[in-house]
Structure 1
Amino acid sequence: MKLTRLVCVVSLVAATTASSFAFIITSYQMVLGNPSGAGSGASNYLIQRPQYALGYVSSSGIPKWVAWSLSSGDQGSGRYDGNFITDTSLPAGMKRVTHADYTNSGFDRGHMSPNADRNITLDHAKQTFLLTNIQPQRPDNNQGIWANFETYCRNLTNSTGREVLIMSGGYGSAGTIGTNSVTVPTYNWKIAILVPAGSGSPITRINANPSAARVIALRVPNVAGIRTTPWTNYITTASSLQGSTGLSFFTALNSAARTTLLNDQDTGTN
């Protein structure tokens, strides 16, 4: 069966500053490139939404990666309190994970692109609960380190007025859960890039001054017992994550800027 690529189309919202409601737009969610070359295949299926973009793996029921752009104006008080949502937009024949796959599994339904990065409206928040944006995470990971770093990224864009480009995902296999055999990643990873100040697109600004871009890359073991561990303990480089995941990061940048960002190791103290 031929699989049709999903592209969600919405009205574009114009804006001129990082503090505006500007970045919940389909075209902003994958500006650094397509890390897995995702397309129409079931093993690497590209989904592009106004809230985020991702490469979905039908056999595992989780994404290889999820990417989004975060500004202070993308955050609000919209709150979705329902169950996590089966992604019925997936083509027939692809694995459609359900809320019940996680029930009593011992794992949280771990957002890759978090609700609080997209809660400017209820509808935007709700889109983050689609299960194609979710991975099984140990509660100590999801509710501890992961949540703390999510908050840090939001505080970073709020305090600087600049956008943060974020990618996250998991790799490895520590078994499966649910009747749909959803893969439990061995590690979760995240890369957050604070874009340099100035005019022009994020890519233009990074290419012009890559050393002014702050790159924070994390590799977090998906295990119990780490709830109170500082996220700074898990800082690595995007280059190291690239080697572990098989993904290709920052392909939209010029070669010099890409090399700088891949090898920059943040101190976690800025």
Structure 2
Amino acid sequence: MNALHQLLRCGLLLLALAGAAACESAEPAPQDGLVEHLALGNPSGATTDASFPNNYLLVKPQYVVGYSRDQGKPNWVSWHLSADWLGSAARQDDFRPDADLPAGWYQATASSYSGSGFDRGHNCPSADRTRTAADNSATFLMTNMMPQAPRNNQQTWASLEEYCRTLVGQGKELYIMAGSYGRGGTGANGYATTLDQGRITVPAHCWKVVVVLTSGTNDASRVTSATRVIAVDIPNDNGLNASWAQYRTKVDAIEAATGLDVLSEVTPAVQKAIEARVDTGPTN
């Protein structure tokens, strides 16, 4: 276990102990949640130090966010998807501000995107967290949202989300990182660079990296040069093709565009192999 993961485990244990002292009847948060969702790496080295407001780490049991205060949206969101996370909980649709942001920071609200022509686009999807109502509700925090052109969010992006869950149904477990970059997209009302009086940046591109593994343990060490990795870079444009497959790219290209190190916990030799190729596998 590396030093970062050891530190994170210690921090989560302290949080759990504090919560138990405050309310003995409360259900404890999963102590390994952060380690689970960042098993393949922290793409930007985000921390919980509020003096770095544009690389701020938000830890949820359901996913982890690298957040940008000045853009009012995530740089990236990372989560583990396996059959354990899927169940029968209904979609909660309870979009709301995130109380875990530091005091005094801008808070996107449920209405911040209203009338903009852009969807409140999930990074970690609602349908990836249906084990419990609480898990599903967590995906509706506004810190998990990015402004997405409706056709992007509802068709192209949604079809890749559905394909990921199809892979889980085939006995796979996935590590997924998603985010956005650039400035300016074309929504239902035309081109825009910001929302909510300039406080939310409309990205030019939405990206996703999906690492596909057979269910097992010690996941980072099981990523090999033969592991399937799906990477997409999708323009944030309402005129998109509905098929996500045509937007496949190299992880290297996403890293070059964003400055992130997406799979930093994977051994360098394996990273070099899997990040340099474009996926050609099935799409449904």
| Superposition TM-score, scaled by structure 1 size | 0.87
Structure 2: 5+ residue stretches without partners: 1-7, 17-27, 185-192
Which position in structure 1 is the counterpart of 2:35?
A: 27
Displaced runs of 4+ in structure 1, greater than 2 A? 5-13, 24-27, 80-83, 197-200
Q: 1:158 to 1:247 in 2, by over 3 A?
A: same
Kindly indicate whether the alpha-carbon contact (under 8 Å) linking 1:100 and 1:178 is maintained by their aligned counterparts in 2. no
One-letter amino acid matched to 2:55: N
Equivalent in 45, 51, 64 of residue 37 of structure 1: 45
Q: Which residue does the alignment assign to 1:57?
A: 68
Q: Is the 8 A contact 2:94 2:137 kept in 1?
A: no
Residue number in structure 1 paired with 2:113: 102
Whether the 8 Å CA contact 2:85–2:130 is kept in 1: the answer is yes
Q: Cα offset for 1:25?
A: 2.9
C-alpha distance in 2, partners of 1:133/1:79? 18
SS at 1:100 equivalent: coil
Q: Residue 92 of structure 2 contacts residue 133 of structure 2 at CA under 8 Å; is this kept in 1?
A: no
After superposition, the CA RMSD in angstroms is 2.0
SS at match of 2:256: helix
Matches within 5 A, 1:83-232: 83-159=94-170, 161-174=171-184, 175-179=193-197, 181-195=199-213, 197=214, 199-206=216-223, 210-226=224-240, 228-232=241-245
Does the CA-based 8 Å contact 2:204-2:236 persist in structure 1?
yes
- In the alignment, the residues of structure 1 paired with residue 168 and residue 39 of structure 2 have an alpha-carbon distance, to the nearest angstrom, of 17
Q: How many residues align?
A: 250
Q: Deviations over 1:20-79 (max 9, x none)?
A: xxxx93321111111111112211100111110111000000011000000022112212
Distance between the aligned counterparts of 2:118 and 2:166, measured in 1? 27
Question: How many angstroms does 1:198 deviate by?
Answer: 6.9
Deviations 1:191-223 (A, max 9, x none): 00102x3753111211xxx13311000000001
Q: Supply the AA of the counterpart residue of 1:37.
A: G
Secondary structure, aligned partner of 1:211: coil
Kindly state the Cα deviation for residue 145 of structure 1 after the two structures are TM-superposed: 0.5
Q: Residue 251 of structure 1 aligns to which amino acid in structure 2?
A: S
1:21 aligned residue: none
Q: Give TM-score scaled by structure 2 length.
A: 0.83
Identify the residue that residue 20 of structure 2 maps to in structure 1: none
